[in-house]
Amino acid sequence: MNNTRNPYEETLRDLELRRATFLQELNKVEQAITALRAAMTVSIPVTQTVSVHIERPSDSKHEYANMSVRWAVLKLLSESVDRWTSADISVALTSGGNPKASKATVSAVISDMVKKRLELTQGEDGGYQLTETGRHAWNAIAHSTRYLENRDSSGTEQ
């Protein structure tokens, strides 16, 4: 029997290893960018006029209305220490006013958030929770002008 590896298999293994290394490095860069953006939106120069927003008590029927499913998932999981199944996330988002959050849509968004964005991790119990990258992403979103303006104009949390 021939125990030598096929050159294509070796090349593929090497490329997959390089890709994993690059993804780790990219994740670190993404975290740094997210942290910088969050710091930049939080720090307001003294010369600017500062508007004060007094938050109303959250209306749970509209907490996730007018929000993308990804943003809603990030918001929901940032406010919880528990792991959530995709079905439970879907129920919470739809009952919170997000009609786009069907089980199929939530499942597809979560898949992207786990595999590509590295914002969620799945536990052995099947539940999901935020990673550090996910926390940084939500922090940047929650302090972004787009989020704050939409939240203020709709009268609800976005």
* Domain ranges, ordered by start, for the chain: 1-158
- Give the number of other Cβ atoms within 10 Å of residue 27's Cβ: 15
pLDDT per residue rounded down to tens, the chain (158 residues): 455 678 888 888 888 888 888 878 877 787 777 777 777 765 544 444 444 433 334 445 688 888 999 999 999 999 888 899 999 999 999 999 999 999 999 999 999 999 999 999 999 889 999 999 999 999 999 888 888 877 765 544 44
Per-residue pLDDT at 152: 61
Per-residue pLDDT at 62: 80
What is the C-alpha end-to-end distance of the chain, expressed in Å? Answer: 63
Helix (H) or strand (E) holding 128, with range, is strand 128-130
Q: What is the CATH number of domain 1-158?
A: 1.10.10
Per-residue pLDDT at 156: 46
